[in-house]
Amino acid sequence: MDYSKVLQEIKEEIVTFKNTGKVATYIPELGKVDPSKFGVYLQCTDGSGYGLGDALDRFSIQSISKVLSLSLALKLKGKEVWKRIGVEPSGDPFNSLVQLEYEKGIPRNPFINAGALVVADILISELKNPKEELLQFVRDIAEDQTIDYDENVAASEMMHKFRNASLTHLMKDFGNIHNNVDDVLDFYFHQCSIAMNCKQLTQAFTIFLNYGKYDLSKEAAVLDTMLAKRINALMLTCGFYDESGEFAFSVGLPGKSGVGGGIVALHPKYYSIAVWSPPLNKNGNSELGMKVLELLTSKTEISVF
Amino acid sequence: MDYSKVLQEIKEEIVTFKNTGKVATYIPELGKVDPSKFGVYLQCTDGSGYGLGDALDRFSIQSISKVLSLSLALKLKGKEVWKRIGVEPSGDPFNSLVQLEYEKGIPRNPFINAGALVVADILISELKNPKEELLQFVRDIAEDQTIDYDENVAASEMMHKFRNASLTHLMKDFGNIHNNVDDVLDFYFHQCSIAMNCKQLTQAFTIFLNYGKYDLSKEAAVLDTMLAKRINALMLTCGFYDESGEFAFSVGLPGKSGVGGGIVALHPKYYSIAVWSPPLNKNGNSELGMKVLELLTSKTEISVF
Amino acid sequence: MDYSKVLQEIKEEIVTFKNTGKVATYIPELGKVDPSKFGVYLQCTDGSGYGLGDALDRFSIQSISKVLSLSLALKLKGKEVWKRIGVEPSGDPFNSLVQLEYEKGIPRNPFINAGALVVADILISELKNPKEELLQFVRDIAEDQTIDYDENVAASEMMHKFRNASLTHLMKDFGNIHNNVDDVLDFYFHQCSIAMNCKQLTQAFTIFLNYGKYDLSKEAAVLDTMLAKRINALMLTCGFYDESGEFAFSVGLPGKSGVGGGIVALHPKYYSIAVWSPPLNKNGNSELGMKVLELLTSKTEISVF
Amino acid sequence: MDYSKVLQEIKEEIVTFKNTGKVATYIPELGKVDPSKFGVYLQCTDGSGYGLGDALDRFSIQSISKVLSLSLALKLKGKEVWKRIGVEPSGDPFNSLVQLEYEKGIPRNPFINAGALVVADILISELKNPKEELLQFVRDIAEDQTIDYDENVAASEMMHKFRNASLTHLMKDFGNIHNNVDDVLDFYFHQCSIAMNCKQLTQAFTIFLNYGKYDLSKEAAVLDTMLAKRINALMLTCGFYDESGEFAFSVGLPGKSGVGGGIVALHPKYYSIAVWSPPLNKNGNSELGMKVLELLTSKTEISVF
């Protein structure tokens, strides 16, 4: 497959794409981004890589970080994690309290906010220096030691913490948060603030390719075969909030989006890809990013299905 | 891959499996089945096929039929179908009215009862002799003209129609059912009553293999590439009610279960498989069937992820 | 208290009332009514009575009938009724299925549709000629043998039965409807179609005054003291769907509204009153009727509180 | 009416009452109370008063305080209060988040926790020394300057604040909490911790008798007629969480319960009454307290209905 050619075709087609999305503004720091930014990077298992546009600009990865924190938690605690978080699609918006109350503080899956907050709580309990060690894990799997938190974004999120504070207190009431609520929120907002570019994201997500065996040089980071497969399954069923079914249906790849406008997706056998375009559709996913990935699997006729 | 050997290993391992499931009894006809029945059939894309146990006994396919009726509706109406049914996991039990009311009569997906009832309504509108033509479609894709409705099961379902009648009337109130409610229920209960064995089911589901291009001899039945991929995506995200995430997570294949104890699953490149064991777990899926498929993808290390 | 003077004052004040309500049109028969119709009748326990406007025009009493059917059911079955219906405000719209599903087919109270359908089911089981005997009960307590069903309205409701059919089938699935669903709906739609004028309604509701001892000439109809008090309590907490709290708060009387634009209210010691004005507010209650009753208790400074 | 005799009869009847209730233990301080404690005090509008048992023992008034804080808020802000809180029964448990999320942070009524937290927020904004001034208001209307907060109870509640912190953060996210969350919780937990005996409670609640005109010596505290009536209406429709309908139905008086085992009720014309017995029924209301009040209105045949 000549991915370079496919990407060029996509680039030409989207020139006429009418973007009706809106940049996230719930925290001022995110609202400052240039809405016309657009980057793509595709990393193949054969070692070749292809970039387009602003593929080397860093942006706030936001919820994409949930896949990385989960991977670390699973490496540390294995199946224990699933006693405190489910693996089912939620059928509700990403920050809903309704289901969480009915289901007694056990989040449906690790990719809604409540689930990621429990993952954060687990990492705080397991790690000596939680923020440092998570960052090191991300740097290692992305093979780039310059990756860092964006303290302005993290601080801005903390000032608008109320919905997430509500979720965390509710779970604490049910006994499913073990640490101090503000510590959990501080860790979580830092994790979301990590700034990465499309290329770095595709590198990090190679740990989910070829059943986690893609690159043995990342020894410490490599995931057990079964673990990589399962995280892929979770991305496919739960990676796009209440648009997860639509993404599986239209694109047909495991993936994860963030409100910073990034989407990472992957085909376990062939490639990982990251797209970045800040304006979001009404479900909180990059509108142009979704389109690019739909074009990719339509043109290549390659998806996991 | 030597599937024959893998199936033998599985057969030996499950000898000690403690089945805590219960046969469905909400209609008397289903309750009469022998709970110790157990059959498996695996059909490879290379033409080879492997059977185990009661692979040639016919049973009530129940909700597995939802995949077949959807395929026919999509062949007839294409994308129009998605104006009346969504493609998102529901996060609720298969027969819940709650979401349907909040979402104004548009079912979340075609594999919950409400969605399948809308599919039935579409087929009644589109076909001259709906029951005859659906049956013919199933006979054609399964390449077996002896397949038939079980009138006793259909009649028994009609006598206990109340929950489904409630769903259908609610959608009719929202304008999403166009035909007479009892006609829709009669068609739907017939569709669920179709009796097939494991081998016939694997034959029928080959239309979803190799992007629907598996067997050109089934010309009339063959699905468009994109269509086959999308139905596979739907099976993966929505095929097992509120255990869909768990199935994707543990097994990693598109599939569909029925309360008759059958499960069909498939790997688009390699095979379709049907398992039958009547006792159901608390989510209404065959308990042993789930286990067999989990063993299959663990042993072969082949899943879509 | 000079109620005649109070009513005159109210009549003058509402001349400038801007009615933003809309006449119910979900069945064509109801939509035909003249929206400018306006009638009031107030019947005091001292025997005096006062009418205004179209107080002698008959209209469809609709949900006001739920109080009358409940009274008859309680006379016939006593406390048994409360095994199948609750006495709590619902906090949801009058025809919602959500709560009914969570609470396993037991309606919250007898004044939401689901509850009134169970009352209808009880009356069908208890009475030899249900429709005739309910009508006779209403004629007796209203002391007017000319009161009758409006067969056009009843037939029109039956043609648009879908939401109520959904509710009834759901309860039948839970075992809380004992008779044939269409028989229950036919009885219920007839009950709702009863045509009465404001004066007749105030007469009928005198059975709830002075603890049901108001007029011993209505011997057969008189309610036990405790029963009358309890029905009044139910009207106060549940009589106006999700505007019940507002009515208790602003008016402070037990009462019941209907989508025909009628409202009946009463002060157990002093009077029963009926108001009729077809345009409904967004909660399905007569907008002008609510205003008139609020003015009445404000001016007289008499309410149950 | 000889209330002394009625209370004696009730005292004799309840000797054989089998109490299946349980003392609240969600905070250790409440769990320490002697479950056999039992007190009643009835204060008539003619000035006479009757006590029984432990009527002079102080206990934690808990949610009964919600009526008092609301009264103060209404005196200070009038109708403005209703822009931020509704007046409808909730149909859900007292601390549910579900409805609050659907209804965008506007609590259904001031007697569920969310509503009382908004009232607390209003008082913090309006008062210079919120805790001191609320306490002074309570002392004034109860005519007893020894009434005080129980700092142990308040501190214990703060240590188990999680559910209420979740509610408050959620409302803050919706913009319906203006002050710091922990300040609101601190005020709220203090208000709940107020220790009063049955006699003091009946004195305080005389402000709701005779339309708030009972005792002009309490000049500062007296409520506007309309205000007193409306608070009575709210107590009747919303005073007992999801047992409010049952209380209106069985007792027929406005009232308010607290998890300390206290219940205050009143007949606007005749009396206020307080009952105290710590074991709670499954809805969080004093089991014996409910029984005593039911006997009272059955025996006297006096209720607002």
DSSP B146-188: T-B--HHHHHHHHHT-HHHHHHHHHHHHTT---S-HHHHHHHH
| Residue B175 Cα, gap to closest chain C Cα (Å) | 10
Domain contains B305 = no
With an 8 Å Cβ cutoff, is D172 touching chain A?
yes
At A241, the pLDDT band (50, 70, 90 cuts) reads confident
In this predicted structure, what is the pLDDT of residue D43? 95
For chain B, give the percent of residues with pLDDT over 70.
94
Q: Provide CB contacts within 8 A for A1, sequence distance 6+.
A: A270, A300, A302
At D222, the pLDDT band (50, 70, 90 cuts) reads low
For the cut 70, the answer to whether the pLDDT of residue B211 exceeds it is no
At C98, the pLDDT band (50, 70, 90 cuts) reads confident
Phi, psi of A280 (to 5 degrees): -105, 145
CATH number of the domain to which C187 belongs: 3.40.710.10
Report the pLDDT averaged over residues A113-141.
97
Domain contains A305 = no
d(CA A281, CA A21): 5
Give chain C's mean pLDDT: 92
Which one is catalytic: A3, A149, A241, A271?
A241
Domain contains B91 = yes
- Per the annotation, binding residues of B for substrate are 63, 113, 157, 164, 188, 241, 259
Q: Could you give the 3-state DSSP secondary structure of residue C187?
A: helix
Report the pLDDT averaged over residues A39-44.
96
In this predicted structure, what is the pLDDT of residue B26? 85
Report the pLDDT averaged over residues D223-246.
89
In this predicted structure, what is the pLDDT of residue C69? 98
CA of B105: which chain C residue's CA is closest? C163
Report the pLDDT averaged over residues B275-290.
96
With an 8 Å Cβ cutoff, is A242 touching chain B?
yes
d(CA A271, CA A249): 19
A241 in catalytic set: yes
With an 8 Å Cβ cutoff, is C242 touching chain D?
yes
Instruction: Give the model confidence (pLDDT) of C248-265 as tens digits.
Output: 999 999 999 999 999 999
Q: Which of A18, A42, A24 is nearest to A266 (CA)?
A: A42
| Residue B94 Cα, gap to closest chain C Cα (Å) | 13
In the Cβ-directed half-sphere of C238, how many Cα atoms lie within 13 Å? Answer: 32
For the cut 80, the answer to whether the pLDDT of residue B216 exceeds it is no
With an 8 Å Cβ cutoff, is C165 touching chain B?
yes
Domain contains C256 = yes
Residue type, A28: P
Nearest to D237 among C99, C245, C298 (CB): C245
Q: Tell how far CA A142 is from the center of its chain.
A: 14
d(CA C240, CA C255): 8
| Structural contact between residues A97 and D98, judged by C-beta atoms closer than 8 angstroms | yes
For the cut 90, the answer to whether the pLDDT of residue B173 exceeds it is yes
Q: Could you give the 3-state DSSP secondary structure of residue A21?
A: coil
- Alpha carbon of A86 to those of A92, A115, D124: distances in Å? 14, 8, 40
Work out how many domains chain C is built from and give that number: 1
Report the pLDDT averaged over residues C81-109.
84
> Which domain, by its residues, includes A44?
3-300
In this predicted structure, what is the pLDDT of residue A99? 78
- Per the annotation, binding residues of A for substrate are 63, 113, 157, 164, 188, 241, 259
In this predicted structure, what is the pLDDT of residue B4? 93
d(CA B210, CA B218): 14
CB distance B245–A268 less than 8 Å? Answer: no
Q: Which two tokens stand for residue D80?
A: 């403005």
DSSP C286: B
Residue type, B22: K
CA of A177: which chain D residue's CA is closest? D162
What residues of chain D lie within 8 A of the CB of C225, using their CB?
Answer: 301
Instruction: Give the model confidence (pLDDT) of A69-126 as tens digits.
Output: 999 999 999 999 999 999 998 876 656 777 788 888 999 999 999 999 999 999 999 9
d(CA C218, CA A42): 86
Domain contains C234 = yes
Instruction: Give the model confidence (pLDDT) of D103-161 as tens digits.
Output: 889 999 999 999 999 999 999 999 999 999 999 999 999 999 999 999 999 999 999 99
Domain contains A145 = yes
A188 in catalytic set: yes
In this predicted structure, what is the pLDDT of residue A23? 95
Helices A113-126 and A181-193: angle between axes, nearest 10 degrees: 110
Domain contains D235 = yes
With an 8 Å Cβ cutoff, is C92 touching chain B?
no
Nearest to D165 among A97, A101, A169 (CB): A169
Give chain D's mean pLDDT: 92
With an 8 Å Cβ cutoff, is A86 touching chain B?
yes
| Residue A39 Cα, gap to closest chain B Cα (Å) | 26
| Structural contact between residues C263 and C286, judged by C-beta atoms closer than 8 angstroms | yes
The pTM of this model reads 0.92
- Per the annotation, binding residues of A are 63, 113, 157, 164, 188, 241, 259
With an 8 Å Cβ cutoff, is A229 touching chain B?
yes
Nearest to A245 among B87, B254, B304 (CB): B87
With an 8 Å Cβ cutoff, is B236 touching chain A?
yes
Annotated catalytic residues of C are 63, 66, 188, 241, 259
With an 8 Å Cβ cutoff, is A170 touching chain D?
yes
CB distance C96–B101 less than 8 Å? Answer: yes
> Best interface-test mutation with A: which of D95, D96, D166, D180 has the largest number of A CBs within 10 A?
D166
DSSP A220: G
DSSP C52: E
What residues of chain D lie within 8 A of the CB of C230, using their CB?
Answer: 249-250, 252, 305
In this predicted structure, what is the pLDDT of residue C101? 82
Report the pLDDT averaged over residues C193-217.
83
Burial class (CB in 10 A: 0-12, 13-18, 19+), A96: buried
Domain contains D305 = no
Q: Could you give the 3-state DSSP secondary structure of residue C215?
A: coil
CB distance C165–B165 less than 8 Å? Answer: yes
| Structural contact between residues A147 and A138, judged by C-beta atoms closer than 8 angstroms | yes
| Residue A22 Cα, gap to closest chain B Cα (Å) | 23
The CB density around residue A214, as the number of other CB atoms within 10 Å, is: 20
> Best interface-test mutation with A: which of B227, B297, B304 has the largest number of A CBs within 10 A?
B304
* ipTM associated with this complex: 0.91
